[in-house]
Structure 1
């Protein structure tokens, strides 16, 4: 159980605020717009289905979700991205009216309701009920529980977040998005503790890696924990918003987690290796978290999310740089500084 890993801390009046990530390093506002982050990442099929859904053509989304099958990581990612569009709820209702028995239509409505509640435009109690109704239809599917975790990560009590994480993990122990949500929530504990090496977010990340199979992309979770803790400290004014000027990215812990992550990546890419996880199961959420820090974390994101060489015309929203070329310099810097 997760309670063995997380040390309970006293609540300090109300729910913890969800702080935005610090601004990217070394980009003007105008240039940052040219490199806008797309939540769909490298999933070209998802981009097509999302575009069609915004135009009222829900059949493309239906076909995409049906083809995703039991790839729980990609399934959760696709539902989440589709639901972020403000028009999704209306078109998903049309889908459910046309196919009242469609389970995927109900789950998409639940995800859309979650994002509506996160925007402050829906009652959270009704959204919770909708997610639970969807979960009851397919008990083995972790996806409706992921929707609930998304909601409670921002609005819920800590004990609810832990309980929902356990629900997801019970159905898919390596669910990447769920692990990232837990890391983000834990990183927000005790910002006044600064760079405490004993902070619970690091305990959780280490525990998750120990529990995962050797080939699991969860091996990069300590890097995510480090990036999330930096986000919290930068917003609190305890670290520079410029990663290059922050000791958070030059200290011993940063060097250690980056070296371990690069070593895992090299082993995973080794010729002849047969990892248990195909490229389609690589952690799609790492980029969203590491993107908030430009320095080394951005280089790592470009590497860990490589599902085929240049799968899109503008890979990882960096059309002017090749992650393969960046890898040599980034790895040399990470290993040379240890």
Structure 2
């Protein structure tokens, strides 16, 4: 794949072949592959990741509803129902849909119901974190709890703790919490950066929490796009290089590339390339294989919505990095 004929493919399942098959069936209205795969899924991290990907695909159809009708006592079907209702509420909020409050209430109830019947499952709590940014005025008490450390904002810390208790440092839980912090900070991202470094500081080797600071740096870059003269320096600043190296050493070298998020791999490759650590970036591009993601590469283009431009940047970065180890 090092030659000029290499062409990346975007697929939310990444290297997870079983998930890729289930997604394909889901897109054609079939749920059996999804159901059987979830029954065989071991480990809360993989369970969370797979249900998240499936929900994003299923939210626009009634496939999960059909599954529940056929297997009304299936616990995985109940989890997927919760996932889909949450995904629909989040999308409605994002688009300003008039039914947002109704969908939000339905999703919140589904989360609580599923948490009751699946007490060991972190997904209902992860889903509650996904809904937290919909409470824009922070009216709910559970979204205004005092933080566990200094320099952190008030927020749904109790919900994060529930997810953490079931699956310590659950990747999606911490990303959902980061989204909540973003929603409350339209300006400088100091609180988001503090949260990301706090999470990474307590995470064990191999945890995706070590990649969180790279996401904050990309978000800061996205918000500051108008300051053109600062863009190139953004990635070679001492802190940026340190964050990239930390994610490489504490996450990538201890993680199984077949089980990690393609987004995390792409963010790390992007950070190392931006920091001119080309030889190390090449190792991450090897792990990415054919499964790229448009983000964060799209933010390096003049038109972030144009996937072709993002792919061009990805290919340039990959080529430069692979050449850097020759």
Q: Please, what TM-score do these two structures have when normalized by structure 1?
A: 0.67
Take 1:150 and 1:90, find their aligned partners in 2: how far apart are those partners? 21
In the alignment, is residue 177 of structure 1 matched against residue 157 of structure 2? no
Any idea what SS the aligned residue of 2:62 has?
Answer: helix
The answer to whether structure 1 residue 85 and structure 2 residue 63 are counterparts is no
Tell me which residue corresponds to 2:162. 167
Q: 1:101 to 1:217 in 2, by over 3 A?
A: same
CA displacement at 1:103 relative to structure 2:
0.8
Counterpart selection for 1:140 from 106, 120, 129:
120
State whether residues 12 and 53 of structure 2, in contact with CA within 8 Å, keep that contact through their aligned partners in structure 1: yes
Question: Counterparts of 1:266-281 in structure 2 under 5 Å?
Answer: 268=253, 275=254, 278-281=256-259
Query: Counterparts of 2:135 and 2:272 in 1: how far apart (Å)?
Result: 28
Inter-partner Cα distance in structure 2 for 1:279 and 1:36: 16
1:207 positional shift: 2.0
Residue in 1 that maps onto 2:106:
126
Match of 2:37, SS?
A: helix
Give the whole-Å Cα distance in 1 for the aligned partners of 2:109 and 2:126.
14
Q: 1:116 to 1:215 in 2, by over 3 A?
A: closer
Deviations 1:203-258 (A, max 9, x none): 22222222222343432222223223333444xx5x44x9x835432322212212
Structure 2: stretches of 5+ with no match in the other structure: 1-6, 93-98, 145-154, 294-310
Structure 2 equivalent of residue 28 of structure 1: none
Separation (CA, whole Å) in 2 of partners of 1:261 and 1:63: 34
1:316 corresponds to: 292
Partners in 2 of 1:181 and 1:301 — Cα distance? 27
Q: Distance in 1 between matches of 2:317 and 2:113?
A: 43
Shift of the alpha carbon at 1:294?
11
Q: Deviations over 1:17-60 (max 9, x none)?
A: xxxxxxxxxxxxxxxxx967433333232221112112221110
Change (3 A) 1:287 1:103: same
Secondary structure of the residue aligned to 1:41 is coil
Instruction: Extract unaligned runs of 5+ from structure 1.
Output: 1-33, 269-274, 333-338
What is the rounded CA distance, in whole Å, between the counterparts of 2:320 and 2:46 in structure 1?
A: 27
Structure 1 position 94, deviation (Å): 1.1
* 1:110 paired to 2:82: yes
Distance 1:78 1:185 in 2: 22
Q: Alpha-carbon deviations, 1:173-231, whole Å to 9, x = none?
A: 1201111222333245444337xxxx222222222222222343432222223223333
- Residue 196 (structure 2) pairs with residue 205 (structure 1): yes
What is the aligned counterpart of 1:59 among 15, 26, 32? 32
Distance 2:63 2:319 in 1: 42
Q: Shift of the alpha carbon at 1:115?
A: 1.5
Question: In 2, are the aligned partners of 1:302 and 1:316 still within 8 Å (CA)?
Answer: no
Deviates more, 1:178-187 or 1:129-138: 178-187
Which of the pair has the greater relative contact order for Cα pairs under 8 Å at 6+ separation? 1
